[in-house]
């Protein structure tokens, strides 16, 4: 009977230790998770970054302030352009997937809405968007797309628009506060609320 109790105590101790180690690993992993925000046309989306020398250097740059770059569509699968500075590379032959944030040639950032195989340094992944939503958010097929990278979501120029005195209004405003007569295909303010058309 004594041997059974000792064996049981040892097993319970081992179980407790394994549970404790597992939870501490999870806490350590979540503590090391880094988030960068990507903002296009006043809409900010989080991107979870991987941990490597490139993302560590990028986070240090972002601590000094937001970075705005101009990106262009290319190849039917990405928007990309120069960062204006170089980051350390750890290139590997990978197949980038929709939502991936990639460093190319050490000084170019690529945001994918499609797929492509090449030698890249992975930076992270845009969270929570379908492929169709990514195409819309990243302005697939367009040129001269202003993209802001930051540690916090970028606030738009308008925080509140008052409705007409009689209640509802059919007036639309763009994110710069300008009245829009025939809105289509973007984000607008109507009756004090942001709406997507």
In the chain, domain spans: 34-150, 156-197
Give 32: exposed, middle or buried? Use CB within 10 Å, 0-12, 13-18, 19+: exposed
Q: Which CATH number fits domain 34-150: 2.40.340.10, 2.40.100.20, 3.40.50.300, 3.10.620.30?
A: 2.40.100.20
Evaluate if pTM is beyond 0.75.
no
Print pLDDT tens along the chain (197 aa): 556 666 656 655 555 444 444 433 333 333 357 999 999 999 999 999 999 999 999 999 999 999 999 999 999 999 999 999 999 999 999 999 999 999 999 999 999 999 999 999 999 999 999 999 999 999 999 999 999 999 998 875 554 555 444 556 778 777 767 777 888 777 777 877 778 77
Whole-angstrom CA distances from 126 to 134, 138, 194 are 9, 11, 22
């Amino acid at each position: 009977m004594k041997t059974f109790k000792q064996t049981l105590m040892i097993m319970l101790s081992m179980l407790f230790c394994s549970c404790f180690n597992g939870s501490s690993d999870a806490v350590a992993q979540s503590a090391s998770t880094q988030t960068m925000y990507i903002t296009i046309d006043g809409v900010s989306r989080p991107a979870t970054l991987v941990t490597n020398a490139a993302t560590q250097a990028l986070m240090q740059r972002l601590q000094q302030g937001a970075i705005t770059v101009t990106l262009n569509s290319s190849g039917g699968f990405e928007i990309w352009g120069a960062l204006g500075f170089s980051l350390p590379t750890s290139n590997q032959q990978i197949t980038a997937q929709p939502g991936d944030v990639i460093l190319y040639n050490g000084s170019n950032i690529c945001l994918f809405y499609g797929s492509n195989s090449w030698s890249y340094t992975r930076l992270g992944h845009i969270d929570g968007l379908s492929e169709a939503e990514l195409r819309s958010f990243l302005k697939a097929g367009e040129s001269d797309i202003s993209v802001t990278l930051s540690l916090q979501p970028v606030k738009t120029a308008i925080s509140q628009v008052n409705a007409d005195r009689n209640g509802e209004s059919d007036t639309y405003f763009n994110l710069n506060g300008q009245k829009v007569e025939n809105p289509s295909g973007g984000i607008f303010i109507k009756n004090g609320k942001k709406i997507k058309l």
